[in-house]
Structure 1
């Protein structure tokens, strides 16, 4: 089973549930993230605003507390002090010192005129019950026509009464916080929108790819089915044709056979090509469907090579080529001798086909835990851009010198698949115009 088939098999199990779940995840996730973002920003704003206002007011109170205690008997000095504080801090609208005695609150000193509102009185009564707790509240000021922060902090608690510092703060600093929070919120919102768009786009891409995968899967199945049926259907008429040729030979006189010998040789050659095509188509079908069988036994590689060389020798001599194989004593390997014969026949046959003059050298040697077989020729070579596509199905090297060489473009693909099934590797090195070397490595040990 090749890589594409494995990927298709994996997608079979995951694509349908994923297509159903993916939109649901998007629909649930995006609103949830928006709600979480809003809640987080509101809490962040409230926390930051309260912290800054309280911190600012309490800091002012802490600084003024000892001075106010010293000047508590001098309202004029206290008013001047508060006015200086008011003038030094642009966020302070008004500063007042309140006095409480027996639940009655009065303005002791203030930088601006104006009495206490009923709502303030209620809050101050609560403050008096828990003297050490400062309070802060956001209220609308009708005179200023905007929201302001009222922060009241306990200062003095003695026999003369309880004194509280009330500071009215502008919401300018809070507005700045809100502005920053809004910017952060917008940035997060933009990110969420972008993420949503990407998720939805990915969903459609995934959906389209899954449809494409399904179509490819169906085409792959139909192709395998067609190849298998076509190969088997071709086998029967080819066998009948061989039988009729033999019957014709038997009926003709030797002299008549001699006259049509060239035609018979052409027919035999064409039948051989057809037989090779059928076998290749059947091998492709078995390999892609995972039905390709190998029979592992102890094999002497050099003996298999020698037999193939002996078979190929007449073809080489016919082109004026030499095939040289130096016999060596190699360790036995666990492999399939019939499949090895198929591999070496294909490689050596290709070397002869694409070599116009010179020789084909076959060398075998042991390299660590592998047997390495190199088939080197002095042929036309392979262009660099063709090397990466050499083991693709139906691919043939485009060269005007080999335009008459017949082939299907399946041989090298089948060869590579067989070698990998046997646990080996194949590599091709070539210099265009000089020659090609095919290197095969096979493991000495058992193939798992």
Structure 2
């Protein structure tokens, strides 16, 4: 689960940094996809429209003919007259056949009892479409290039004539099937009826697609501008980092010299000094120490951001580092009237893979912060094992912080601004550096805090897995 969360975090970080490239790739995929979608949509809808129009026209004609002839099927002359009149009134019709079922060797076939084509009259048809229409009791339409309708003959079809044939069952007054009416319509008529609607629809879809693409292209061009701006800002930021790194290195040597000479003067190595001079020099020494700490923090930030932070990971005993850190800070805690308590894990504490010096830096920084922001009470550091992780908890009885402050706590140069923190020195870089060092070593840190009650920092590092023997 932690790996999945880490993967999502990496993905979102990459998206924020390279969003213009990702959206450009998305646009390149979207444009051909939109064209393909538009084409498929039109093809499917044209086919549906053709089927609907053909069935509508053919069924309408066939139903009229079926109702007119169903009561007198034996009178072929009357039927011929009726279908002839219908064909004259409807120029779209280029052929009509009336078919009655005929059984031959247990197979259902259909005999043409009347037709606009005199040569087709009296012939037997075994067209599959007719059988489907009869069996399903519903209209069926199919495209043909033959001149004759639903007949079996040896004539070659006229390839220049394409037509739609609609086979429609007709019934008596009691809804019993009597036969089939085959209506033949010219495909040209159907095409003309659909052309206008189809072209309008295609133009509308094309216009919508083009508008979407143009909007995305315009948006993407802005993204490219943002990308160029981001690149320039990145270059400026890199120049700033290089300047800070160079300036910090240049400041480090003179500050070290100043502190060295101040130390020699204060301890009397260069001769006795007055008490008033000593007090002034102690203030200067304290200020130079804060300046040295700031320079060191800036160097740490530069190393981390430029990927130059070197670590030697090895099995580390956390308890040993904690005990050494407590001993280092015991004096400063005592000066403020605070007590540092250590709550150790009962039993052998597993080791973690970490850089020993950096781990000590992390623990010292968190303990120093706890001491710095606690006016009274205790600072407690606890170690425990929790689901495959070593957990280190640093809890104080200090001033605490608000929910909003917790959300910004690990940001660079962030400091809680209040009357209680106004006189507490700091750069706002310590916790940011601490968090980066923890994450580089595959750990995590979170904070719980209540104003005027205290704060607890919770660190987790994965335990080194023991290889099974054999």
TM value normalised by structure 1: 0.69
Q: Distance in 1 between matches of 2:432 and 2:95?
A: 90
Q: Distance in 2 between matches of 1:150 and 1:331?
A: 86
Q: Distance in 1 between matches of 2:115 and 2:11?
A: 83
2:320 is equivalent to residue 316 of structure 1:
no
2:198 is equivalent to residue 188 of structure 1:
no
2:10 is equivalent to residue 7 of structure 1:
no
Q: Distance in 2 between matches of 1:437 and 1:130?
A: 90
Q: Distance in 1 between matches of 2:249 and 2:304?
A: 16
Match of 2:408 among 359, 379, 389: 389
Q: In the alignment, which residue of structure 2 is the partner of 1:345?
A: 364
Give the C-alpha shift of residue 446 in structure 1: 6.8
**1:30-49 correspondence to structure 2 within 5 Å:** 45-46=49-50, 48-49=52-53
Q: Distance in 2 between matches of 1:84 and 1:198?
A: 54
Change (3 A) 1:369 1:257: farther
Change (3 A) 1:186 1:129: closer
Match of 2:445 among 399, 416, 426: 426
SS of 1:214's equivalent in the other structure is helix
Match of 1:127 among 147, 152, 159: 147
2:230 is equivalent to residue 213 of structure 1:
yes
Give the C-alpha shift of residue 346 in structure 1: 1.0
Change (3 A) 1:399 1:65: same
Q: Residues 8 and 213 of structure 1 are in contact (CA less than 8 Å); yes or no, is this contact kept in structure 2?
A: no
Change (3 A) 1:395 1:302: same
SS of 2:401's equivalent in the other structure is coil
SS of 2:236's equivalent in the other structure is helix
SS of 1:238's equivalent in the other structure is helix
Give the C-alpha shift of residue 412 in structure 1: 0.6
SS of 1:260's equivalent in the other structure is helix
Q: In the alignment, which residue of structure 2 is the partner of 1:281?
A: 298
2:384 is equivalent to residue 365 of structure 1:
yes
Q: Residues 444 and 460 of structure 2 are in contact (CA less than 8 Å); yes or no, is this contact kept in structure 1?
A: yes
Change (3 A) 1:8 1:238: farther
Change (3 A) 1:45 1:262: same
Q: Residues 34 and 209 of structure 2 are in contact (CA less than 8 Å); yes or no, is this contact kept in structure 1?
A: yes
RMSD, matched Cα: 5.0
Give the C-alpha shift of residue 210 in structure 1: 2.2
Give the C-alpha shift of residue 430 in structure 1: 0.6
2:238 is equivalent to residue 238 of structure 1:
no
List alignment gaps of at least 5 residues for structure 1. 102-125, 139-148, 154-163
Structure number with greater CO (CA < 8 Å, separation at least 6) is: 1
Give the C-alpha shift of residue 376 in structure 1: 1.2
SS of 2:445's equivalent in the other structure is strand
